[in-house]
Amino acid sequence: MSRLLYACGRVALLLACSMSAMAADRTDDIRRKFDDPSAGVFIAAHRGCHNASPHQKLEAAPENSLAALEHCVKLGVDMMELDVRRSADGALVVIHDATVDRTTDGKGKVSDLTLAQLQALRLKQNMGAQMSPDLTDERLPTLAQMLGAARGRIMINLDIKDDDIYAQTIAEAAAQGMARYVLVKSFVDRDAAGVGADDPAFAAVPYMPIVGAWTAKGGGAGTVQVVTRQLAAQRRPAGVELVFLPREQLAPVRKLAASGGVRLWANTLTSVGVISVIGMGGDLEALRTSGRAWGDLIAAGVDTIQTDEPGPLLDFLKREGILH
């Protein structure tokens, strides 16, 4: 009997180790894809997979929730974007707004509430507010909980809402064994010289500068100069994110990203009023036109799309034979 138990124990251990290795391989595969723009279109789900994906039989989930992460894993999305703030007692929590009013059954500033108070709240369905006021059983997660759930399964894009928590957030990613599998980004301006890439605080994680309308003031040379400086940094950024970039500047920025071997990231977040290229459509237009808005961006050289509609985007890529 003891030999049998010993043998069963070894089998269980081997199976557990095998499953762990397979999970690690999953995130390593995603990271390799992210590092190689030629490997195919990379999909980031904005605040997780919170909108319903009928074709994949997934209902809606609260934004920035553990359920939204689970839906992303089921869909096979490459990366989940989430927002990080700090509670009154110093805990890092995942929530977009400075207050809990829109997305939970509570009221008040995140920075005025303790972790215990925050986790006593229930998350509203999807994006909350009056559009989705129904309460769910989901609770507001800590960053550690989200990173732990993501480990070995999906990459995470950290949208850090306060400048004074960058170091703490990156340290948490490292503590959770996720430093290689998160992406940290920050806005840069025309005077910035390799801001994140050469900052020691960002050394442990992939970094991406955000450029857009503010760098383009005074002519297209502004954005080109900013991107050129970022790509010339001692530590090359992982990509370049665009926000409200004038359309005529897309081609030169795309050329720079391609020559630097980094990803060109576009937002199609029309549900929250954010797009990457002025005059080019977003998610809502894509849904109306069988994906044309996504296709136009990809044809223009975009290789990474952050979307609120990851399910339909995946359907489009598969239908068009674009998905690797």
pLDDT in tens, 191-213: 766 656 667 778 889 999 999 99
Rounded Cα distance, 196 and 235, in Å: 9
Domain residue ranges in the chain: 26-85+154-319
Give the contacts of 176 (CB within 8 A, at least 6 positions apart). 144, 147, 148, 151
Q: Which residue has the tokens 């995470």?
A: 156
pLDDT at res. 126: 97
One-letter amino acid at 234 equals: Q
Beta bridge partners of 156: 80, 182
CATH architecture, domain defined by 26-85+154-319: Alpha-Beta Barrel (3.20)
Please write the tens of the pLDDT for every residue from 69-98: 999 999 999 999 999 999 999 999 999 999
- Residue 117 reports pLDDT greater than 70: yes
Q: CA 38, CA 263: separation in Å to the nearest integer?
A: 9
Rounded to 10 deg, the angle between the 143-150 and 66-75 helix axes is 20
Q: Is the pLDDT of residue 33 over 80?
A: yes
The model's pLDDT over 199-251, given as tens digits with 9 standing for 90+, comes to 777 888 999 999 999 888 766 678 999 999 899 988 889 999 999 999 999 99
User: Looking at residue 2, what is its pLDDT?
Assistant: 47
Distance of alpha carbon 322 from alpha carbon 311, whole angstroms: 15
Indicate yes or no: pTM above 0.85.
yes
Tokens of 149: 């759930």
Among 168-177, 194-203, 208-217, 304-313, which stretch is predicted with the lowest mean pLDDT?
194-203
Burial class (CB in 10 A: 0-12, 13-18, 19+), 131: exposed
